[in-house]
Amino acid sequence: MTAAASSSRRSAHAEAILGPELSARLPQTKVLLVGAGGIGCELLKNVVLAGFGNITLLDLDTIDLSNLNRQFLFRKKDVKQSKALVAAKTASAFNPNVRITPIHGNIKEPQFDISWFKQFELVLNALDNLDARRHVNKMCLAAGVPLVESGTAGYLGQVQPIIKDRAECFDCVPKPTPKSFPVCTIRSTPSQPIHCIVWAKSYLLPQLFGEDEDAGGELDEAEKQGENAQEIATLRKEALAFKAVRAALRAPADPSSSDAAKAVFQKVFRSDVENLLSMADMWRSREPPTPLDFEGIQAGTFAVKKPGHANGTAVNGNHMNGAAVKATGSAATEQLLNGASSSTSSSASLKDQRALSLQDNLEMFVSSLNRLAARLRSGKEETISFDKDDDDTLDFVTASANLRSFAYGISTKSRWEVKEMAGNIIPAIATTNAIISGLIVLQAFHLLKKAYNSLRNVHVQFRPNMPLSAIKMSLPNDGCGVCRDTFAEVLCDPSRATLGDIVDGILGDREGEGSGTGKREVSVYEDKRVLSDPDWDDNLERTLESLNVTRGMFLSIVDDDGELETIQVGIGMLPPNHPVDESPVILPSPLPLPKKKVKPQTVESTPPPPPTGVKRSAPDDEDVPSAKRARKTGGPAPPFSPSKKRKLDEDGIIMVDSADVDLEDADIIVID
Ligand SMILES: Nc1ncnc2c1ncn2[C@@H]1O[C@H](COP(=O)(O)OP(=O)(O)OP(=O)(O)O)[C@@H](O)[C@H]1O
Ligand SMILES: [Zn+2]
């Protein structure tokens, strides 16, 4: 058979389904796939077999052994190789006519700017995190390229076509916080195993093995600002106590000694619990905790009441909302006998899945703490953070969480369960990825054909009588702070172009037809940094480079009267042949003309203009004076020190300050 005949037989089915026009276009259609993981591998196979001929595949990661159960373009020999490169190589063999360009990189890198995105007719996302999804959403809006967004979490999945001005963008609907726990639930009144696990992973472990934070300075500041003095005194006492145990963990010691472990134990499972117990009000309507006794547990003479039943938990996966999805946690671990050795049911024979007794947990606590301390003492690591695949940290979190559960009468979890919960693991299901990848391609066809009425938001759901639901597209949210902006691109040399060149250039003089909106009162931001406002123009004469504004970033020009849409100016690079003696700025033509805002209230993103006042000037000694004026967020100080709170936020676990939250209600873990 000739090559031509084989090729026409290969595409016969696709042609029959897609029709001659679309199938003739596909070999030339340039498509970008972002992510070569669970969805990405399936999707790449689909787009190659559907007949797309020019595919760019981008992923920042290398192949892990654990990917092989569902990422079928990879084999064992490929472990540690670039996902993009291996996937491209494997899938190229499915069609000799396809050109796949793999890129091993992060989609947020500056070279992937608006101009770069503009080369594609279509972008398909197969990502696993909100941050990257938000970024691609914005870049596609700015570049005017349609996007198909997707995500799966266990049995659930979603596909969302996004096209500027015609359908909601990824940010039109605020995403629910993945998980949120009131700080005091984690800190003082845990009632579920997950509360103890979060405490061990995101509070205790960083306190002992994370960066040494000068809580003192922050507390001084909080005191000056009139925060509750008693609370600050308690926090100060606690910070000092932690300083002492941190020092003990780092001091040279006999590796077989359990002194440091005992000191930590006495502090967190005894003194802190006793302190809490002394606040009688707290325990009027809930069971008081029991301080634990180190020697008593070791000797088998110490007993706590039997733990109650815990509910299943919620964990967070790569569902596109970043929302937690309820996973049916295994039944509450068996009621444990105090100090007795573990039960030996058949399922418990697997080492990681057995239920751990109080004694087992104490042993694991001491040994893991000593192992972690030895790592610090060896000088190879300065800090240690949680990693589900790091046995020492997993043991420590399992044991600490379970000991806390014992103190609070909560059921405990096996090491296996803790790994799943602390590592935010939802078992990925290859079939869901396959269904979603098929649906992505169907939506991609609608976009290519401009069959906008056929576009659908599709959900794969856990409902046997209706596993798929397809919803007509909603129009963009007028309050969306992302897709309601007006986008433009400026090509410039950041070392020569000033902020004023860009802002004045984009606003234009308004004398000629289509020449911008003219001079008006605006504030300029880069992300959350204020670079100028009507009363503060010092930065306008500075170069973008000196303001740390570089390729790939956006300058947001916000109308101070709040009447016109914000202009988002993407910073791109001058063409290589641009003469050096010419202006270092190429403005878009025509200049962007932002529309009147429908509603002044934005959902999120673009920060509101700061309050204007007297003219301020930037202090001379500051490199980027504007950074100082970044928006302030956050309410009253949480019981964690502010920097600790930030840490927890970054960790993906949001602590809600619960001063005015009803505890019973707030205990609910948010799920999508
Ligand atoms: N900013 C980014 N730039 C490029 N690729 C990204 C970015 N963020 C995530 N990815 C890629 O998106 C893919 C998502 O795939 P998936 O959800 O299957 O995750 P995974 O890392 O392969 O699996 P698991 O998290 O279960 O180990 C990953 O391969 C990841 O490397
Ligand atoms: Zn939007």
Q: pLDDT digit string (tens) for 266-314?
A: 999 999 899 888 888 778 888 899 999 999 999 999 988 665 433 333 2
Report the pLDDT averaged over residues 108-132.
96
Shortest CA distance to 639 belongs to which of 256, 168, 192, 237?
237
Q: Is 634 annotated as a binding residue?
A: no
Q: How far is the CA of 147 from the centre of ligand 2 (A)?
A: 13
Q: Which residue has its alpha carbon closest to ligand 1 atom 15?
A: 37
Instruction: Indicate the residue type of 652.
Output: G
The pLDDT score that the predictor gives to residue 388 is: 87
Dist CA 314 CA 329 (whole Å): 8
The pLDDT score that the predictor gives to residue 245 is: 86
Q: Is 470 annotated as a binding residue?
A: no
Q: Which carries the bigger pLDDT value, residue 66 or residue 143?
A: 143
- Of the CA atoms within 13 Å of residue 659, those in its CB half-sphere come to 6
> What are 3-36's pLDDT values in tens digits?
555 666 777 888 888 899 999 999 999 999 999 9
Q: Is 480 annotated as a binding residue?
A: yes
pLDDT at 484 over 50: yes
> What are 359-391's pLDDT values in tens digits?
999 999 999 999 999 999 888 898 999 998 899
pTM of the model: 0.69
The pLDDT score that the predictor gives to residue 151 is: 95
> What are 590-613's pLDDT values in tens digits?
999 999 887 544 444 444 433 333
* Phi, psi (rounded to 5 degrees) for 658: -105, 25
Q: Quick one: DSSP state of residue 223?
A: H
Mutate which of 39, 42, 61 to test ligand 1's pocket (most atoms within 8 Å of Cβ)?
61
CB 267 within 8 A of CB 203: no
Q: Is 131 annotated as a binding residue?
A: yes
Mutate which of 33, 68, 71, 127 to test ligand 1's pocket (most atoms within 8 Å of Cβ)?
127
- Class of domain 187-281+289-317+324-422+638-666 (CATH, top level): mainly alpha
Q: What percent of the chain has pLDDT over 70?
A: 76
The pLDDT score that the predictor gives to residue 464 is: 87
CATH number for 3-175+429-472: choose from 3.30.1600.10, 3.40.50.720, 3.50.4.10, 3.40.50.450. Answer: 3.40.50.720
Strand runs labelled E in 512-628: 522-526, 529-532, 554-559, 567-573, 585-586
E strand or H helix at 215:
helix 215-224
Q: Establish whether the linkage from the previous residue to 590 is cis, with ω within 30° of 0.
A: yes
Shortest CA distance to 475 belongs to which of 452, 442, 446?
452
The pLDDT score that the predictor gives to residue 307 is: 57
- Please classify residue 303 by burial: count the beta carbons closer than 10 Å to its beta carbon, then call 0-12 exposed, 13-18 middle and 19+ buried: middle
The pLDDT score that the predictor gives to residue 110 is: 95
Dist CA 84 CA 36 (whole Å): 6
Average per-residue pLDDT in the chain?
Answer: 81
Q: How far is the CA of 83 from the centre of ligand 1 (A)?
A: 9
pLDDT at 257 over 70: no
| DSSP string computed for 216-273 | HHHHHHHHHTT--HHHHHHHHHHHHHHHHHHHHHHS---TT--HHHHHHHIIIIIIHH
| DSSP string computed for 146-208 | -EEEEEEETTEEEEEEE-TTTS--TTTSPPPPS-EEEHHHHHT---SHHHHHHHIIIIIHHHH
> What residue segments make up the domains of the chain, in order of their start?
3-175+429-472, 187-281+289-317+324-422+638-666, 486-597+607-629
Dist CA 247 CA 204 (whole Å): 15
Mutate which of 128, 388, 389 to test ligand 1's pocket (most atoms within 8 Å of Cβ)?
128
Dist CA 55 CA 198 (whole Å): 42
- Which ligand is located closest to the Cα atom of residue 483? 2
- Which ligand is located closest to the Cα atom of residue 426? 1
The pLDDT score that the predictor gives to residue 260 is: 86
Three-state DSSP at 460 gives: strand
Instruction: Indicate the residue type of 238.
Output: E
The pLDDT score that the predictor gives to residue 343 is: 41
> What are 488-510's pLDDT values in tens digits?
999 999 999 999 999 999 998 76
- Which ligand is located closest to the Cα atom of residue 42? 1
Q: Which residue has its alpha carbon closest to ligand 1 atom 17?
A: 128
> What are 636-660's pLDDT values in tens digits?
333 333 333 333 333 334 333 333 3
User: What ipTM is given for this predicted complex?
Assistant: 0.98
Q: How far is the CA of 475 from the centre of ligand 2 (A)?
A: 9
Using a 6 Å CB cutoff, which residues line ligand 1? Answer: 34-38, 40, 58-61, 64, 66-67, 83, 106-108, 127-129, 132, 318, 428
Report the pLDDT averaged over residues 123-132.
95
The pLDDT score that the predictor gives to residue 159 is: 97
Q: How far is the CA of 602 from the centre of ligand 2 (A)?
A: 10
Kindly give the number of the ligand 1 atom that is closest to the alpha carbon of 318: 17
Beta bridge partners of 326: 314
pLDDT at 671 over 60: no
Q: Is 40 annotated as a binding residue?
A: yes
- Which ligand is located closest to the Cα atom of residue 86? 1
Q: How far is the CA of 61 from the centre of ligand 1 (A)?
A: 7
| Angle of the 391-408 helix axis to the 358-377 helix axis, nearest 10 | 140
pLDDT classification of 141: cutoffs 50, 70, 90: very high
CB 69 within 8 A of CB 41: no
> What are 442-481's pLDDT values in tens digits?
999 999 999 999 999 999 998 889 999 999 999 999 999 9
CATH number for 486-597+607-629: choose from 3.10.129.10, 3.10.290.20, 3.30.1540.20, 3.40.50.300. Answer: 3.10.290.20
The pLDDT score that the predictor gives to residue 615 is: 34
Q: What percent of the chain has pLDDT over 90?
A: 58
Q: How far is the CA of 556 from the centre of ligand 1 (A)?
A: 29
| Residues recognised as catalytic | 184
